């Protein structure tokens, strides 16, 4: 078959990848899927009790009434089932605040849950006592993790260009271009309908985004030309980007896959995620002199403090600062 074989038991992906990465493009997506299946099975085994654990009456219903997103509903219900299972020998209304604090502490110490998961689990518990049971806010004193102040990872305009230009597939090029040029979250891109493209106004409507908020963002003139060609070629029925089955929305995992592939072909060796395109959009707008208030509206941020984080990664402000080492070197020559 004109190929080499490696014994599976002796195969290690990382050294294999490092040896060949400069000589060939390696598509190991099938191998990655097998790892994901194994990990998923272990998760299901660890939390097999969830399918047998019943939620208190009204928990899921009130989540839906309050229009929480599907992702939040899935997280809250799963995490609260864990809580119910842990205290399965106790009445929920008799559980003390100290017991809940101990439960959260055990998850942090013994299960190494992340800070964001810790917060979500606390919120899932609070939701039951405060919204379902309509109790007072007795749980607000639960110790929460300190928020890590991580700066967003951004790409340069040159890197964005290299990535987009590596997309030979027209649909893929339109997808990555739209995420970047409108500052979209991945879920927002998947929800864009044909009727959301307002070509006459140069705007895109994003409906029921994070926090169930609608907003408008920019529609690039260059991208609009591409989208017209794309529409004639693909003829989407309802969603702007459809999957293999006509009328069904594009899948979230496919976006990551096409971005990873384009990034590798562009010769960029750092990990690039769809959300980095959104961060890059905001940072590049700021460097162009766009007012933070407008960037906040385009991104759909509820608070200006969230948008202000991009000032820390913008080179526009850094360029104004003269490095003292340059003076030292200049005086020594």
**Which member of 171, 172, 278, 284 is catalytic?**
278
| 217 vs 226: CA distance, rounded Å | 18
**Which member of 131, 153, 205, 275 is catalytic?**
275
**Which member of 59, 76, 230, 310 is catalytic?**
310
DSSP at 114: -
**Which member of 131, 185, 205, 257 is catalytic?**
185
| Residues facing 206 on adjacent strands | 215
**Which member of 50, 153, 210, 215 is catalytic?**
210
Element (H, E) at 262: helix 252-265
CB distance 145 to 136 below 8 Å = no
* 275 part of the active site: yes
What value does the CA radius of gyration of the chain take, rounded to a whole number of Å?
24
Q: Looking up tokens 């609608």, which residue turns up?
A: 214
Among 274, 271, 229, which residue's Cα sits nearest to residue 256? 274
| 36 vs 29: CA distance, rounded Å | 10
* 310 part of the active site: yes
* 138 part of the active site: no
**Which member of 81, 279, 284, 301 is catalytic?**
301
> Residue 297, exposed/middle/buried by CB under 10 A (0-12, 13-18, 19+)?
middle
Structure tokens at 295: 């960037």
* 23 part of the active site: no
Catalytic site residues?
185, 210, 275, 278, 301, 310
């Amino acid at each position: 078959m004109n190929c080499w074989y490696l014994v599976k038991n002796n195969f290690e992906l990382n050294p294999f990848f490092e040896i060949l990465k400069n000589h060939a493009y390696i598509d190991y997506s099938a191998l990655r899927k097998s790892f994901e299946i194994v990990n998923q099975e272990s998760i299901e085994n660890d939390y097999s009790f969830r399918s047998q654990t019943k939620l208190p009456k009204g928990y899921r219903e009130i989540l839906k009434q309050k229009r929480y997103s599907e992702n939040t509903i899935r997280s809250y219900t799963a995490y609260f089932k864990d809580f119910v299972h842990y205290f399965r020998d106790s009445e929920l209304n008799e559980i003390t605040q100290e017991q809940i604090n101990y439960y959260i502490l055990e998850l942090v110490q013994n299960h190494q849950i992340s800070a964001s998961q810790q917060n979500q689990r606390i919120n899932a518990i609070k939701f039951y006592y405060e919204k379902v049971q309509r109790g007072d806010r007795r749980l607000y004193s639960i110790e929460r993790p300190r928020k890590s102040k991580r700066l967003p990872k951004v790409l340069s305009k040159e890197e964005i260009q290299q990535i987009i230009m590596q997309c030979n597939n027209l649909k893929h090029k339109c997808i990555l271009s739209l995420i970047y040029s409108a500052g979209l979250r991945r879920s927002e891109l998947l929800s864009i309908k044909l009727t959301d493209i307002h070509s006459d106004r140069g705007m895109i409507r994003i409906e029921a985004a994070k926090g169930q908020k609608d907003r408008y963002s920019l529609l690039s003139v260059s991208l609009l030309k591409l989208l017209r060609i794309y529409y004639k070629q693909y003829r989407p029925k309802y969603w702007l980007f459809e999957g293999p089955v006509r009328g069904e929305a594009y899948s979230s995992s496919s976006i990551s896959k096409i971005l990873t592939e384009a990034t590798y072909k562009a010769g960029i060796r750092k990990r690039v995620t769809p959300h980095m395109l959104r961060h890059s959009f905001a940072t590049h707008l700021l460097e162009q002199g766009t007012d933070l208030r407008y960037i906040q509206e385009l991104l759909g941020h509820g608070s200006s403090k969230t948008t202000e984080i991009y000032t820390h990664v913008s080179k526009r402000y850094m360029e104004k600062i003269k490095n003292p080492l340059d003076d030292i070197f200049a005086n020594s020559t």
